[in-house]
Amino acid sequence: MQDMAASLSLAIALVLVCGCDTSETGDSTLMRQIDHHIVGGAGGNTGRLGDVLDPNNGGVQAQVALGDKALLDRAVAAAKAAQPAWAAVNPQRRARVMFEYKRLVEANMDELAQMLSAEHGKVIADAKGDIQRGLEVVEFCCGIPHVLKGEYTQGAGPGIDVYSMRQPLGIGVGITPFNFPAMIPLWMGAVATAVGNAFILKPSERDPSVPVRLAELFLEAGMPEGIFQVVHGDKEMVDAILDHPDIAAVSFVGSSDIAHYVYERGVRAGKRVQAMGGAKNHGIVMPDADLDQVVSDLTGAAFGSAGERCMALPVVVPVGEDTAQRLRDKLVPAIEALRVGVSTDPDAHYGPVVTQAHKEKVEGWIAKCADEGAELVVDGRGFTLQGHEKGFFVGPTLFDHVTPEMESYKEEIFGPVLQIVRAPDFETALELPSRHQYGNGVAIFTRNGHAAREFAARVNVGMVGINVPIPVPVAYHTFGGWKRSAFGDTNQHGMEGVKFWTKVKTVTARWPDGSPDGGNAFVIPTMG
């Protein structure tokens, strides 16, 4: 396997030439190179470079070469050449690659987490969680022979048997966001390749190093060349992907506006598309809830990873004024005790946001919410960290008396901001997430089983937590929201993921015994 990886390195395109910068001046202190897994040789880059920033200090730590259609064409050609043989490999052997891959990722966990943390800004523990949640889908794929089994009916008609089989689509692409540079590529790529497809990953250009390292580990695990590749780029690359005639399916995670664009353009080009968008998840707090547990859950769900999660919990809905006041009294000291630090600080609860532009966007939403009349209880604007004054830090922020008419409530802030929207009763609390434009996740905190059951059955949201603040399903279930949180008919991972990355072929078989059919060949077949 080492020889294979070495030979591949002679035929891959260099995409990152990085000056690792831990200063605030942008001076390069160390040069490193990260290779890009395109089988077909160098070239095809636009000559344009994207900066990879250090969120802790604000400097440029790397530059990523942005690919173009020619680079994508090389990747597709390599995938097209390799995919038929990979699809013909029996499922057990493909599963063995997944087993070995899981072992390798676990063995390199510290390296991957540090790399992820350095480019995204997540604290190390959170970065490891990012990787682990992706690995859980790899674990699911270790059982791919079982889930690929088709259906069989013996004697569906006189001497007739019917059976079905799941077959790969051919070439699939994943377009993934900056906030989960390990988890979401693994959600997509592991299932897509385990069922026999070739897969091309277009990760975010903001934190591109971990996806490249994941591709290297797939090669080391025994994945054939051309089956898991990485192309970097911006909108030019995305459009090339959506228009390419040899790409059968595209899976996307990002903002809702872009998700809608990806879905519409990809479907017009005849592709199968799943496009996951934004979110505004609510946490309903009933009067009987354990408020100490709720506060613990809320601080982690609202502020963990600096709020840069589509399953964050940025809205809390206490039911009744007494509940609201008791919750607020407990929330304020808990929020003020949060520690914001550099991503390598083991005592930090969360680190910086990903870019200066995103910091300004989040702080703009804080100003907007205050201007709309909400009560700013804890203001995180202007937060600085000694020695890291140019880092992209936003302090934890809490608003109370937010109303559904406010734009800051309607839109996704995607930062460390928690909004309290007070509800007088259960029905009002139920309506808030149900009527919101997003429908990704929701949680209810209660000791009342009837209230929880009623809420779960009636709420118009795709994923529900009962005393679980971030209800991301386990890998053998499926992930997906409703309304503007998802476009397409199929969810991520689990059996929904297997269905997305495969197509069903149904065979009706008859072995004649030599008897004449009595002229029935001209009548539509029935099984009577």
Which tokens sit at 517? Answer: 């059919």
d(CA 456, CA 111): 40
The answer to whether residues 240 and 69 touch, using CB atoms and an 8 Å cutoff, is yes
Compute φ and ψ for 276, nearest 5 degrees.
-95, 130
d(CA 100, CA 115): 21
Compute φ and ψ for 443, nearest 5 degrees.
-135, 150
d(CA 6, CA 194): 24
Neighbours of 317 (CB within 10 A): 26
Distances (CA, A) of 500 to 103, 250, 276: 26, 10, 14
Q: Among 319, 327, 393, 285, which Cα is nearest to 58's?
A: 393
The answer to whether residues 354 and 206 touch, using CB atoms and an 8 Å cutoff, is yes
**Strand 282-285 relative to strand 441-445, pairing:** parallel
Which DSSP helix (H) or strand (E) runs through 318?
strand 315-318
DSSP 8-state secondary structure symbol assigned to residue 423: B
What's at 485, amino acid-wise? S
Pick the catalytic residue: 18, 141, 142, 310? Answer: 310
d(CA 450, CA 438): 25
- Is residue 310 part of the annotated active site? The answer reads yes
Give the residue numbers annotated as catalytic, written as ranges.
Answer: 310
